[in-house]
Amino acid sequence: MPNEKILIVDDDINICELLRLYLEKEGFTTKIVNDGMSAISAFKQDEPDLMLLDIMLPQLDGWQVCREIRKFSYKPIIMLTAKGETFDKVLGLELGADDYVTKPFDTKEIVARIKAVLRRSSSSSVPEAVKEVNFDKLSVNLENYEMKVNGVQIDTPPKELELIFHLASNPNRVFSRDQLLDEVWGFDYYGDSRTVDVHVKRLREKLEGVSDKWELKTVWGVGYKFETKD
């Protein structure tokens, strides 16, 4: 995937140059900025294909940057963090990040994750047999990435929409978290099934109680299913 643009955002110059070296070796074009305000400006100006975003930044931290970016773009964001606590990872995902990498990191792993996330984000343009599913008071359209509840469009990030589309396209089928990671995210998410839980939680906030004819249901010890009722 030559010439795809990666915006590197980190206040550690050495880390930035290391990432630049490895990414340009892989054929990517890179740009480096070192603070949160510059990250937002550079994102708007350069429209990168993906952003590597550190959490601890001057001016605006990575969480604030991610939140601002998600107001106008759903281009992939991979967060870099020196913190390994689940809270930090979950918060990043809830704000709309596509992946996270904990420092110290292996550069080969980051390159692999970048390629995987870009592969997944570009695959949405691949033709599919069915682009829309409809149930009582719910419509999910993968052609224009819209979810409507009672005819009203609900703001839904792409990964959440792809997840509910996948589940609703296979009603009453139980999917394990690993299956969903593989089939929705499209790559090995390094075993972090918490990612699925975060996205299901956010979908439930939007869909809970909408209809008594279907339900986004947890199958304890297994995973999730979109259950329809007679």
pTM over 0.85: no
CA atoms of 74 and 200, how far apart (whole Å): 18
Q: According to the model, what pLDDT value does residue 128 have?
A: 44
Three-class HEC string of 56-108: CCCCCCHHHHHHHHCCCCCCCEEEEECCCCHHHHHHHHHCCCCEEEECCCCHH
CA atoms of 7 and 57, how far apart (whole Å): 15
CA atoms of 142 and 1, how far apart (whole Å): 24
What is the torsional sign of CA 203, 205, 206, 211? positive
CA atoms of 92 and 64, how far apart (whole Å): 10
Neighbour tally for 178: CB within 10 Å: 14
Domains located in the chain, CATH noted: 5-124 (3.40.50.2300), 132-228 (1.10.10.10)
Token pair, residue 55, equals: 């959490």
Q: What is the pLDDT of residues 34-70, one digit of tens each?
A: 999 999 999 999 999 999 999 889 989 998 999 899 8
Q: If the chain, 230 residues long, is cut into consecutive pieces of 10 residues, what is the mean pLDDT of each piece?
A: 84 93 93 95 94 92 89 86 64 75 84 83 52 91 88 88 92 89 67 80 92 93 89
Token pair, residue 187, equals: 């790559």
Q: According to the model, what pLDDT value does residue 127 have?
A: 41
